[in-house]
Amino acid sequence: MKSRHTGLVVRFVLAGVLVLLGWQMLASGSTTDAQRQQESARRIAEYRPTCDGKTMRPRDTCLVFGGSGDEGGSYQHMMDMYAAANSPRELAERDRGWRVAGYVALGIGALTLLCFLLSLVEVIRFGADEPQDATISYQRRLVGLAVAGAMAAVGVLLIGESGNVVSWLLAVAGVLLTAAALASLVSAFRTRVGRRRWAKAHGHAYERCDKDLLQRLGWSDALPFAGGVVTGTHRDRAFLVFDYAEKDARHTALVMGVPGELPPLVVEAKLKGGPRLLTGTAQHWVDHATEVVAAADRHYPWAFKGNGATLWAKYDEVLSPSGEKLQRRLDGLHRVGTALAAMPG
């Protein structure tokens, strides 16, 4: 809890510093043509070349040994170099750099502030001790969408300012990431809203977060908590539907009970081609491979596993499954479970 509160304070302070810094950069780079003309004239009028720490006179020449050769020269040459470096055009380029830096700082600051606000809402609603990964939260998705949108906006801005390859790459990457972030938001909506509605419509129980579900199931390869958990009975068989994290990826799992006890079974998706029975399948099923594959092809063309009194499968498409797709997958698991249980032992 203490670390969560510390993170909130750090985000708030960092957001404030970045917003103020970005605002100051934008102010520094937002000068008019007349202001740049005046600033250029003032700088040139006040400038006096120096050589070895001493102010030069109009007829002096500064000899510099080594370096690029641009440091020395006559008094007039050094005045001309300074005037060119501080011309209105060069000052406009510097202003453009300040504005770009200001936009970037403001963008990062705004995203940090958004992250702070969303984290604060999560803490107020669900407490500081709840695992964030278990909440199927909009927080990370909204922040990701904001980051992607900011990338695209900055890229478009830079295209207008300079039009180089980097700006185009940044804009294209921002657009692609924005599309991915929108897809992630749709998945979150399907889980937090659509799945809850589907569960309620069919009389199932919905739980936003279960902190140790996978630990109770004995899934040691995944993080212990689960989100978007639906428990119920589908055609006389108990089932679970939930989201879980494994190797930095989120999956939707479907677990369904079967009559009797099944030997270990690992079946590959039909769509991937090749043999459907994989390593880990018990010899019992290998001896009935033709019947097992036929049943899987007919009832459940996706990958699934079975062991003991349960079948389980992962849903790994881009978007989180809708209630209709969950219903279809549960129907398939029910049918294939019935077919497998009916095979001779």
Q: Which of 61-70, 112-121, 161-170 has the lowest mean pLDDT?
A: 61-70
Indicate if the pLDDT at residue 345 is higher than 70.
no
The DSSP symbol for 1 reads -
Residue 221 belongs to a domain = yes
93 occurs within a structural domain? no
Burial class (CB in 10 A: 0-12, 13-18, 19+), 282: middle
Distant-in-sequence contacts of 272-279, Cβ < 8 A, 24+ apart: 272/303
Q: How far apart are CA 133 and CA 114, in angstroms?
A: 18
pLDDT band at 168 (very low <50, low <70, confident <90, very high): confident
Classify residue 274: in a domain, yes or no: yes
The label of the residue with tokens 């478009």 reads 156
Q: Is residue 39 part of a domain?
A: no
The position carrying tokens 């936009």 is 103
Output the average pLDDT for the chain. Answer: 82
pTM for the structure as a whole: 0.62
State the CB neighbour count (10 A cutoff) for residue 105. Answer: 20
Looking at residue 134, the DSSP 8-state letter turns out to be: G
Does residue 241 fall inside a structural domain?
A: yes
**Whether 32 contacts 50, CB under 8 Å:** no
Alpha-carbon distance 129 to 156, whole Å?
A: 41
Place of tokens 């040691």: 220
Angle at the Cα of 137 from the Cα atoms of 133 and 139, rounded to 5 degrees: 105
Report residue 29's pLDDT band, with 50, 70 and 90 as the boundaries. confident
Distance CA 28, CA 185 (A): 37
Virtual torsion, Cα 328, 331, 333, 336, nearest 10 deg = -120
Is pLDDT above 50 for 271?
Answer: yes
* 291 occurs within a structural domain: yes
pLDDT the model gives residue 135: 43
What are 48-82's pLDDT values in tens digits? 888 888 888 888 888 876 655 556 788 888 888 88
State which H helix or E strand residue 53 sits in.
Answer: none
Cα 176–chain centre separation: 12
Distance CA 322, CA 314 (A): 14
The number of distinct structural domains making up the chain is 1
Chain-centre distance for alpha carbon 90: 39
**Of the candidate ranges 54-68, 165-179, 192-206, 261-275, the one whose mean pLDDT is the lowest:** 54-68
Confidence of residue 122 (pLDDT cuts 50, 70, 90): low
Tell whether 107 is covered by a domain: no
Span 162-174, mean pLDDT?
A: 77
Residue 159 burial (10 A CB sphere; 0-12, 13-18, 19+): middle
* 71 domain-assigned: no
Concatenating the DSSP letter of every residue in 266-323 gives: EE--GGG-S-SB-TT--HHHHHTHHHHHHHHHHH--S-EEEEEEEEEEEE-SSSPPPH
Q: What is the CA radius of gyration of the chain?
A: 32
pLDDT score for 70: 57
> Residue 309 belongs to what domain range?
199-342
